């Protein structure tokens, strides 16, 4: 594990985004995409004119390997802050040397700001001797009963009924394990109503929830109960994704009328040149996890992935939210993105860091859940934003939580980029508790 500067009391949520797209600069890729439904009439976020004060943090080194990133793994904990997490009680959570830790306060959780459904989850943990902690899976934000509204993976060697490795109030591990006072690793696979738990590489529990109400999705929580608890290397890989692109043709997609862009399938990739133009899915999606890989084939190119979008027309081709693709940054500083940076929710929430580089494949993950949007680029989370605008069927004009289409953008005549490994997982029906 790499060492990072100690940071405490980091702002948990990103500030709301800024205003309209700036005029082209030498560093940008050209003219903005025109849209008769945007610009002068487009409504702004409550904080569009200025971002809230957020402590500037240098981008950490990537912890996941290139192979893990390509396989879809993301870091839930970036190693330097509690961005993307929220405490549900007064606990002294802090970050030091790449570790989240706590040792004071009433029992409580540090909870992800977005829920997850089917996934693999990994973390390292260290609990002082005699302590009590746990990892909460598919949990309510404020769980009241481990038998009803969460799967509590216990970390407590001294618990008489459900010791370390148990799902509290549900099932004990196959054999007793001890973990106090040393670093250990959990690896959990949550798939439908089945959970498998490995400790330090060994399977210790296999559980099937045969109750009348198995938990389909929910938050992940790190617990401080008694004693000092530390976590590091907190990773997740979404499961149950389906392919949006078959690698052979554009089945399931259609080109928006009036597009100048060329969308061609080459070597298992969607290659986009020229612009402006859009290629959109024929299906619609509301709450989902989207994972893609993209490569800009020149420097300072601009593109995007639109979502929850209206069906595109020649007059209004891009009525959706946009996850930006632009790998440029100013002053040799990756925390100063050009055009808000890859992973930004464009016009709404700039990326914290520009993680990807031009002419290299990037892996991006987007979670759209109700009015909250979170993005990761090459495993690092760069956006966590809630749309607080008034509702509107067009996300360029207001908040939209209903289903819409996903579309790939050809931005302008300089466009030259490729997409591959586009896959999506819909959330189960019903909101997380």
Kindly report, residue by residue over 11-55, the tens digit of the pLDDT: 333 332 333 333 333 233 333 333 323 322 343 333 332 233 345
3-state SS assignment for residue 21: coil
Q: If you average pLDDT over residues 334-345, what whole number do you get?
A: 97
What is the percent of the chain with per-residue pLDDT over 90, rounded to a whole number? 85
Q: If you average pLDDT over residues 43-70, what whole number do you get?
A: 67
| The most confident of 21-25, 102-106, 428-432, by mean pLDDT | 102-106
Q: What's CA 162's distance to the chain center, in Å?
A: 32
Q: If you average pLDDT over residues 302-318, what whole number do you get?
A: 96
**Which among 355, 307, 346, 308 is positioned nearest to 324, based on CA atoms?**
346
C-beta atoms surrounding 421 within 10 Å: 20
Long-range contacts of 387-395 (CB under 8 A, 24+ apart): 387/45, 387/348, 388/16, 388/45, 388/46, 389/43, 389/44, 389/45, 389/46, 390/43, 392/43, 393/310, 394/37, 394/310, 394/316, 394/319, 394/320, 395/308, 395/309, 395/319, 395/320, 395/321
What digits encode the pLDDT tens for the residues 159-205?
A: 999 999 999 999 999 999 999 999 999 999 999 999 999 999 999 99
Per-residue model confidence (pLDDT) at position 429:
82
* Residue 57's pLDDT band (cuts 50, 70, 90): confident
Check: CB of residue 306 under 8 Å from CB of residue 312.
no
- Full-model pTM: 0.88
Structural domains of the chain sorted by starting position, each given as residue range(s) with its CATH number in brackets: 39-50+242-426 (2.60.120.560), 66-238 (2.60.120.560)
DSSP track, 102-163: E-SBSSEEEEESS-BSSEEEEEEEEE-TT-EEEEEEEE-SS---TTTS-EEEEE-TT-SSS-
Distance of alpha carbon 6 from alpha carbon 9, whole angstroms:
10
Per-residue model confidence (pLDDT) at position 347:
96
Structure tokens given for 311: 């069906």
What digits encode the pLDDT tens for the residues 200-213?
A: 999 999 999 999 99
Per-residue model confidence (pLDDT) at position 425:
98
Q: Which residues pair with 124 in a beta bridge?
A: 185, 232
Per-residue model confidence (pLDDT) at position 431:
65
Query: What per-residue string of b and e applies to 7-20 under the rule 16 or more CB within 10 Å gives b?
Result: eeebebbbbbbbee
Check: CB of residue 279 under 8 Å from CB of residue 256.
yes
Distance of alpha carbon 221 from alpha carbon 281, whole angstroms:
34
The phi, psi pair for 69, rounded to 5°, reads: -65, -45
Check: CB of residue 166 under 8 Å from CB of residue 147.
no
Cβ neighbors of 175 (< 8 A, separation 6 or more) are 204
The phi, psi pair for 320, rounded to 5°, reads: -155, 175
Rg (the chain; Cα; Å): 22
Per-residue model confidence (pLDDT) at position 422:
98
Q: The dihedral of CA 224, 139, 288, 401: what is its sign?
A: negative
């Amino acid at each position: 594990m790499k060492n990072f500067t100690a940071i405490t009391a980091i702002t948990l949520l990103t500030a709301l985004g800024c205003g309209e797209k700036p005029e082209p600069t030498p560093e940008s890729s050209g003219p903005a995409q025109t849209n008769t439904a945007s610009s002068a009439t487009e409504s702004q976020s409550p904080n569009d004119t200025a971002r809230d004060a957020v402590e500037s943090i240098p981008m950490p080194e990537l912890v996941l390997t290139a192979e893990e990133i390509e396989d879809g793994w993301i870091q839930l904990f970036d190693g330097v802050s509690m961005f993307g997490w929220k405490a549900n009680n007064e606990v002294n959570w802090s970050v030091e040397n790449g570790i989240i830790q706590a040792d004071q306060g009433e029992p409580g959780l540090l909870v992800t700001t977005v829920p997850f459904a089917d996934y693999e989850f990994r973390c390292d943990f260290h609990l002082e001797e005699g302590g009590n902690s746990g990892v909460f899976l598919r949990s309510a934000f404020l769980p009241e009963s481990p038998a009803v509204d969460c799967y509590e993976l216990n970390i407590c060697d001294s618990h008489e009924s459900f010791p370390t490795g148990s799902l509290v109030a549900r099932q004990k591990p196959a054999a007793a394990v001890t973990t106090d006072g040393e670093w250990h690793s959990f690896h959990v696979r949550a798939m439908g109503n089945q959970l498998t738990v490995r400790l330090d590489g060994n399977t210790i529990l296999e559980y099937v929830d045969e109750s009348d109400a198995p938990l389909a999705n929910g938050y992940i929580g790190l617990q401080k109960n008694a004693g000092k608890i530390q976590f590091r290397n907190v990773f997740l890989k979404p499961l149950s994704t389906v392919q949006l692109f078959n690698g052979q043709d554009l089945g399931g997609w259609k080109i928006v009328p009036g597009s100048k862009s060329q969308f061609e399938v080459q070597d298992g990739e969607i290659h986009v040149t020229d612009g402006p133009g859009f290629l959109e899915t024929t299906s619609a999606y509301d709450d989902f996890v989207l994972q893609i890989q993209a490569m800009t084939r020149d420097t300072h190119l601009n593109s995007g992935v639109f979502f929850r979008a209206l069906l595109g027309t020649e007059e209004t081709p891009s009525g959706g939210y946009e996850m930006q693709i632009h790998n440029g940054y100013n002053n040799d500083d990756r925390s100063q993105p050009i055009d808000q940076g890859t992973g930004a929710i464009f016009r709404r929430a700039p990326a914290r860091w520009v993680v990807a580089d031009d002419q290299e494949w990037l892996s991006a993950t987007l979670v759209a859940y109700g009015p909250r949007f979170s993005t990761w680029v090459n495993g690092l989370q760069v956006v966590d934003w809630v749309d607080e605008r008034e509702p509107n069927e067009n996300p360029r004009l207001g908040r939209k939580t209903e289903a819409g289409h996903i579309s790939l953008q050809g931005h302008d005549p300089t466009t030259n980029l490729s997409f591959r490994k586009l896959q999506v997982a819909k959330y189960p029906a019903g909101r997380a508790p």
